[in-house]
Amino acid sequence: MPRRTTIPKPSRDLPLDVAQTTAVRGPTAIQVIERLMALLDALSAHSDPVSLKHLARATGLHPSTAHRILNDLVVGRYVDRADIPGSYRLGMRLLELGNLVKARLSVREAALEPMRELHKRTGQTVNLSVRQGDEIVYVDRSYSERSGMQVVRAIGGRAPLHLTSSGKLFLALDDPRLIRAYATRTGLAGHTRNSLTDVSKLERELSMVRTRGYARDNEELEIGVRCIAAGIRDDSGRLVAGLSVSAPAERMQDDWIAELLQTAGRISSGLGFVSQASGAPPP
């Protein structure tokens, strides 16, 4: 008499084909992915090749299971066999994929949602700007009519580095020789009575920027408008943009500084930046 095969009863909450597949296969596919990710994480924790024995111990996998998954990863070039027999290291395919991700990352895309959230919390205009030569270029902005401030610089607008909070972030990274060269080229032209038009005063201001980790614009570009800015860095640690909050002079609050720094740090993390020290990020 032929043996009867019992198929588990499909769940009422799932379509018949999905329920049958789940019943027969179980969580095997998900488990394999979890084990694969665990092995990759274990390999990433070491700069040197890692033995199969160590990987099995670190992931809690049986050596034969770890070996089988590693072999599949080697075929896909996600893992390489090292010169030391029985040892493995991360493969070049991961680098290739990482470079693709990096190339597709956009500061504007990474900053869009955090900027909106910062605007909601402060009620003030939030600007994203980048450096081009001796100027800051505004590339995005989050604002509303309730901020009570007319937007003076439109997206695509430019302003001198030394007159803006974001521009000071970039100048603060230049060595003294480059700062003085900038002063010579631009003449440190001022727009208001608060503008820093003396190179010695500018250098003192930039020193404070380095110490504080953020920069200020005290009605130096426009009378009645104050700004605070924090830097955004990419995966190499390079300053790629400035994030600033602009507000009517009488409304600017130092309480926003912590939120600004946190938001800039969040955007930087989205670009792959990993801070090496606690506390406020460098300018």
Q: What is the CATH number of the domain that holds 71?
A: 1.10.10.10
Q: For residue 160, which phi and psi values (nearest 5 degrees)?
A: -60, 145
Asked which of 34, 62, 95 is the last residue of a domain, the reply is 95
Provide mean pLDDT across the span 30-35.
89
In this prediction, residue 153 has a pLDDT band, given cuts at 50, 70 and 90, of: low
Q: How far apart are CA 36 and CA 75, in angstroms?
A: 13
The answer as to whether 6 is a domain residue is: no
CA angle 264, 216, 177 (to 5 degrees): 95
The reply to whether 43 and 137 lie within a common domain is no
CB-count exposure of residue 10 (10 Å: 0-12, 13-18, 19+): middle
The answer as to whether 238 is a domain residue is: yes
Provide mean pLDDT across the span 166-183.
97
Asked which of 95, 111, 146 is the last residue of a domain, the reply is 95
pLDDT for 277 equals: 56
Residue-wise pLDDT tens digits, 191-234: 999 999 999 999 999 999 999 999 999 999 999 999 999 999 99
The reply to whether 175 and 237 lie within a common domain is yes
The reply to whether 164 and 256 lie within a common domain is yes
In this prediction, residue 14 has a pLDDT band, given cuts at 50, 70 and 90, of: very low
The reply to whether 91 and 107 lie within a common domain is no
How many C-beta atoms surround the C-beta of residue 120 within 10 A? 11
Asked which of 56, 80, 95 is the last residue of a domain, the reply is 95
Q: How far apart are CA 195 and CA 183, in angstroms?
A: 13
Tell me the one-letter amino acid at 176.
P
Containing domain of residue 173, as a range? 102-270
pLDDT above 50 for 274: yes
In this prediction, residue 31 has a pLDDT band, given cuts at 50, 70 and 90, of: confident
Q: For residue 11, which phi and psi values (nearest 5 degrees)?
A: -70, 145
pLDDT for 167 equals: 98
The total of structural domains in the chain comes to 2
CB-count exposure of residue 87 (10 Å: 0-12, 13-18, 19+): middle
pLDDT for 141 equals: 92
pLDDT for 258 equals: 97
**Between 258 and 18, whose confidence is greater?**
258
pLDDT above 60 for 182: yes
The reply to whether 35 and 131 lie within a common domain is no
The answer as to whether 276 is a domain residue is: no
The reply to whether 111 and 211 lie within a common domain is yes
Q: How far apart are CA 206 and CA 198, in angstroms?
A: 12
